[in-house]
């Protein structure tokens, strides 16, 4: 771990929330086509020239770290399909003040890449896993890449990329009958299964509000396996997320819920996002974006642009007021 820079002034937005966590999208492309994220034919991809190079991303983080940025997550699209991802990880790892680098991935390439990613400096991974049944994975991810959730999670753990978190988007009538099976994984493995409420982003062509399963219902189903108790604050798995964590007595893993639809955590939001083409988004759900690629390529200092973006960070989002499909897919904004 690198020492934090001395006297770094905390970056705060207009509501006093300190911003120390940046999610970096390295590509908008993906080798999956999850039904809640992308249409089968893909999306209009960004031109390659618009995408920040690894050196440009590292330069941006170098300028933000002295302002208090401490934690990073590399995401996409699917980050592992961008060539030589380890080059970026090594560049980021060398930046003073950066304490933690996580990766969000669909996991298909983790068995082959996990050890190299760990060696380059990734601390831990979140893996998207919406079914434990291969035939159902095919229906949800719409690609056959030899994906098996247990194998991928075990490979990540063996590579030292724990605590492994499994992100499950729960969809009524599609995979909600697997809540108990996913929850049972935590009885045998030190894995953290996080159930995510489906959000009305992207095109969601075949999905509707009826597919959203509220987290209370998910927890009620998980508690049919055995009684669940809240994990005391500060003793849950390391991370930056807004999840509430629970545990079965004696279980090595935990169960979490991420509830963008039924509860907001805007009051404690500590994150901003960098899109693959270099725009800073201060809220996942709005249109607030500030271009950093222009100033970066012009050799200008980024701090004024970053402070301007933070000054405009909205107090909270209101997803329930939005139309299904009214927002861009998470793959396009660095979900």
Q: Where along the sequence are the contacts to ligand SAM (CB under 6 A)?
A: 30, 36-37, 75-76, 78, 104-106, 128, 167, 169, 196, 198-199, 201-202, 330-331, 335
Choose one: 28-36, 214-222, 278-286, 310-318; the region binding ligand SF4 (CB under 6 A).
Answer: 28-36
The CB-side HSE value for 229 (13 A sphere, CA atoms) comes to 7
Residue 204 C-beta: closest distance to ligand SAM, Å:
6
71 prior amide bond cis, ω within 30 = no
- 167 makes contact, choosing from ligand SAM, ligand SF4, none, with CB < 5 to 8 Å by partner type, with ligand SAM
- 75 makes contact, choosing from ligand SF4, ligand SAM, none, with CB < 5 to 8 Å by partner type, with ligand SAM
- 33 makes contact, choosing from ligand SAM, ligand SF4, none, with CB < 5 to 8 Å by partner type, with ligand SF4
Pairing of strands 192-197, 254-258: parallel
Query: Shortest CA distance to 130 belongs to which of 103, 162, 165, 170?
Result: 170
- Rounded Cα gap, residues 29 and 80, in angstroms: 10
Interface pick for ligand SF4 out of 32, 147, 191, 285 (rule CB under 6 A): 32
Q: What are the respective helix, strand and coil percentages of the chain, to the nearest 5?
A: 30, 20, 50
Residue 63 C-beta: closest distance to ligand SF4, Å:
27
- 132 makes contact, choosing from ligand SF4, ligand SAM, none, with CB < 5 to 8 Å by partner type, with none
Residues 6+ apart with CB under 8 A from 188: 252
C-beta closer to ligand SAM: residue 120 or 276: 276
Interface pick for ligand SF4 out of 12, 33, 263, 317 (rule CB under 6 A): 33
Strand partners, 18: 12
Interface pick for ligand SF4 out of 80, 128, 259, 275 (rule CB under 6 A): 128
- Rounded Cα gap, residues 88 and 53, in angstroms: 9
Comparing every residue's Cβ against ligand SAM, the nearest one is 335
Secondary structure element (H or E) that encloses residue 169, with its range: strand 165-170
Compute φ and ψ for 308, nearest 5 degrees: -65, -45
Q: What residues make contact with ligand SF4 under the rule CB under 6 A?
A: 30, 32-34, 37-38, 76-78, 106, 128, 331
């Amino acid at each position: 771990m690198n020492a934090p820079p001395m006297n770094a002034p905390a970056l705060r937005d207009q509501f006093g929330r300190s911003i120390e966590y940046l999610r970096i999208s390295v590509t908008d492309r993906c080798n999956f086509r999850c039904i809640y994220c992308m249409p089968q034919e893909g999306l209009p991809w960004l031109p390659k020239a618009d995408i920040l190079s690894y050196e440009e991303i590292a330069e941006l983080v170098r300028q933000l770290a002295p302002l208090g940025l401490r934690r990073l997550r590399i995401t996409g699209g699917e980050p592992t399909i961008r060539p030589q991802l380890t080059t970026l990880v090594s560049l980021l790892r060398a930046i003073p003040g950066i304490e933690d680098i996580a990766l969000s991935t669909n996991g298909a390439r983790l068995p082959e890449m996990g050890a190299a990613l760990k060696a380059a400096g990734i601390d831990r991974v979140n893996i998207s896993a919406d079914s434990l049944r291969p035939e159902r994975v095919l229906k949800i991810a719409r690609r056959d890449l030899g994906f098996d959730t247990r194998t991928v999670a075990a490979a990540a753990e063996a590579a030292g990329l724990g605590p492994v978190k499994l992100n499950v988007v729960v969809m009524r009538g599609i995979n909600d009958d697997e809540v108990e099976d996913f929850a049972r994984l935590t009885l045998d493995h030190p894995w953290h299964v996080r159930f995510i409420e489906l959000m009305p982003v992207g095109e969601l062509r075949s999905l509707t509000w009826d597919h959203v399963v509220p987290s209370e219902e998910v927890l009620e189903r998980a508690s049919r396996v055995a009684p669940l108790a809240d994990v005391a604050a500060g003793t849950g798995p390391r991370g930056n997320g807004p999840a509430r964590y629970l545990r079965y007595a004696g279980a090595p893993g935990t169960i979490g819920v991420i509830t963008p639809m039924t509860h907001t955590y805007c009051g404690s939001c500590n994150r901003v996002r960098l899109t693959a083409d270099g725009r800073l988004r201060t809220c996942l759900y709005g249109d607030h974006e500030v271009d950093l690629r222009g100033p970066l390529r012009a050799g200008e200092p980024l701090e004024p642009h970053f402070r301007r973006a933070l000054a405009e960070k909205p107090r909270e989002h209101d997803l329930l007021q939005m139309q299904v499909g009214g927002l861009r897919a998470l793959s396009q904004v660095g979900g």
